[in-house]
Amino acid sequence: MTNAAGISALTSGTTKELLGNFGNDVNDPWILQHSNGFLNATFNNTDFIGPGIVIDEPGSLTFSDYEMRTRLGAADNDGLGILLRVQDDNNFYRITFTNEGTGTAGTRAPRGMSVQKVRNGIWTELYRDDVAPLFVYSPGVVGSTPTTGLPMFDLSARVVGNTLTIQVIDSFGTIIDYPAIPDTTDPLLTGTVGFQTWGTENVYYTSYGGQSGPLLIGIPEPSAGLLFIGGSLAAGSARSRRREIAQN
């Protein structure tokens, strides 16, 4: 990712922590990202960037209408989420959840849930729910995992045509449906998916509902269009080291 000032993890002098380290636990069914990388926003509190990783399977850039389903949680309060319709480092949608507010500087991810778009390197924001948030995730404690009491929530994100539909099921089983989010200006209509964080350590991603199942379901659902989380993920920025997430 590159912010509006043209700075990325590859910019000389930028901390390497921004690249992050996404790893699939050898003995457990989750992906852990344990760095604390971030860059503050430079434009309208929108282009904050941090570690990200995406699926890079043959044909993944042509995925069009689909639903991404995952369970996620963190031991930190700054920001985590997913990437949708990723074409490259400068074209994607990003869904971000945070617990902490923006603060007086206004250079960080907003509290609640927000959706950002990058189109040809230009950052905009499609949605923000930070005044009276429908959902704010609860961070765990450092060292906690999904099996030792870390609060996890399920996320379903559908992209059909130019519209995003997002649903959360919190750790208590409460269902939160967000309003449909249309992109009426030069929408991204195809692309792959991925995970992302901002200023957050000990972030866990696992299968939706805690059960074995696909990460991605095509709409309409094709018999051979499912992606499963598997293998190990090496360290990477928004488009590096991604081939260990296998396509079935």
How far, in Å, CA of 147 to CA of 242, rounded? Answer: 26
> CA–CA distance from 80 to each of 144, 155, 159, 171 (Å)?
16, 12, 19, 16
Q: If pLDDT is split at 50, 70 and 90, which confidence band does 187 have?
A: very high
Sheet of 122-129, strand order: 52-54, 192-197, 80-88, 91-98, 112-119, 122-129
Q: Of 93-97, 104-108, 141-145, give the lowest mean pLDDT range.
A: 104-108
The rounded percent of the chain whose pLDDT value lies above 70 is 89
pLDDT of residue 111: 94
Q: Which residue has the higher pLDDT, 225 or 42?
A: 42
The SS3 call for residue 210 is: helix
The architecture that CATH gives domain 22-218 is Sandwich (2.60)
Q: Of 3-7, 17-21, 41-45, give the lowest mean pLDDT range.
A: 17-21
Q: Does residue 233 carry a pLDDT above 70?
A: no
How far, in Å, CA of 75 to CA of 32, rounded? Answer: 11
Quick one: CA dihedral 139, 144, 149, 155, positive or negative? positive
Q: If pLDDT is split at 50, 70 and 90, which confidence band does 235 have?
A: very low
The SS3 call for residue 75 is: coil
What angle (nearest 5°) sits at the alpha carbon of residue 94, between those of residues 179 and 53? 145
pLDDT of residue 16: 78
How far, in Å, CA of 161 to CA of 126, rounded? Answer: 15
Q: What is the pLDDT of residues 91-100, one digit of tens each?
A: 999 999 999 9
Average pLDDT on 13-28 reads 84
pTM above 0.95, yes or no: no
Q: If pLDDT is split at 50, 70 and 90, which confidence band does 221 have?
A: low
Q: Does residue 169 carry a pLDDT above 90?
A: yes
Q: If pLDDT is split at 50, 70 and 90, which confidence band does 149 have?
A: confident
Nearest residue to 205 (alpha-carbon basis) of 110, 81, 83, 52:
81
pLDDT of residue 222: 55
At a CB cut-off of 8 Å and minimum separation 6, what does 20 contact? Answer: 33, 35, 37, 50, 51, 52, 53, 197, 235, 236, 237
Q: Which residue has the higher pLDDT, 222 or 54?
A: 54
Average pLDDT on 218-243 reads 46
- CB < 8 Å & 24+ apart, contacts of 6-15: 7/39, 7/42, 8/49, 8/89, 8/237, 9/37, 9/51, 9/237, 10/237, 14/39
pLDDT of residue 226: 53
Nearest residue to 164 (alpha-carbon basis) of 213, 211, 199, 129:
129
Q: Does residue 41 carry a pLDDT above 60?
A: yes
Average pLDDT on 81-106 reads 93
* Strand stretches in 99-174, DSSP E: 112-119, 122-129, 153-160, 163-169
Q: Does residue 227 carry a pLDDT above 80?
A: no
DSSP state of 122: E
Pairing state of beta strands 203-206 and 30-33?
antiparallel
